Amino acid sequence: MKKISFLIFLLFLNFTYCKINTIDDIKAIEGMWEIYSVSSKGEVFYPQGESPVVDYYTFDSDSTGTKKKTKT
């Protein structure tokens, strides 16, 4: 019985301290990013050429944003 109570207590703590991503968290990644590889569905893709691809990300207040490809 004590083990079950302890597990329920741990689950309760886990759910009470969960934090939802806010717009402040998204704003932290805004800017230029060098893309060395892209992974999707278990595959990894690498950009062609010597230099990495550079993308510029901007985010709006309603969690939408844009991505612009820039020349390296």
Distance between CA atoms of residues 32 and 35, nearest Å: 10
Which of 43, 37, 33 has its CA nearest to residue 67?
33
Q: Where are the strands (E) in the chain, listed by range?
A: 31-35, 38-40, 43-45, 53-59, 65-70
- 14: in domain: no
In a domain, 63, yes or no: yes
- 56 inside domain: yes
Answer yes or no: is 64 within a domain: yes
In a domain, 31, yes or no: yes
The pTM for the full model equals 0.48
CA–CA gap between residue 3 and residue 56 (Å, rounded): 50
pLDDT given for residue 24 in this prediction: 66
Average pLDDT, 10 consecutive residues per value, the chain (72 residues)? 82 70 71 88 84 82 81 62
Which two structure tokens, joined as six digits, stand for 11? 């689950």
Q: Specify the number of domains making up the chain.
A: 1
